[in-house]
Amino acid sequence: MEAKIRVEWLGELRFRGTNADGRSAIMDATDEKGHPAGVTPMQLLLMALGGCTGIDIVSILKKQRQNLTGFAVNITGHRRSEPPRYYEMIHVEYVLKGSGLDDKKVRRAIQLSEEKYCSVRAMLMDKAQVTSSYRVEA
């Protein structure tokens, strides 16, 4: 399976990444005050992790006929201070909402995503220590 992405410079330090279907995301670096004008590439990487694992978990729980009414992924990444400043540690917190969610099925869905299905997590495992937790809200 091949993916083709075009990344185009828009001026300053802003870039647009576009996939073969024409869908795009804007990336930017930090400005003089240390604030990004857009999403930085490293933040986009954490977003990709959240989206990848989220798709897996929601799909699995729906197949298990769990009454999932809300789902969010909170991700915290800690980067090296020296270049290359990749993430050394990442913590993923899954927040699930729904009535009567089976704890065993929730844990299994998370495990399957983390150990088998999430390609983004698999790519990160060589460089980052990735931990996770979850909680169910009423």
- pLDDT value for 34: 72
Lowest mean pLDDT, pick from 24-28, 34-38, 61-65 = 34-38
Q: Looking at the predicted structure, is the pLDDT value of residue 138 above 90?
A: no
Backbone angles phi, psi at 6, to 5 degrees: -115, 130
Q: Are 26 and 46 members of one domain?
A: no
| 48: containing domain | 41-137
Shared domain check, 48 and 9: no
Residue count (the chain): 138
Element (H, E) at 45: helix 41-63
pLDDT at residue 30 tops 90: no
CA distance 12 to 74: 30
Average pLDDT over residues 112-119: 98
Residue 35 shares a structural domain with residue 55: no
The whole-number average pLDDT for the span 30-43 is 81
Number of structural domains (the chain) is: 2
pLDDT score at 125:
94
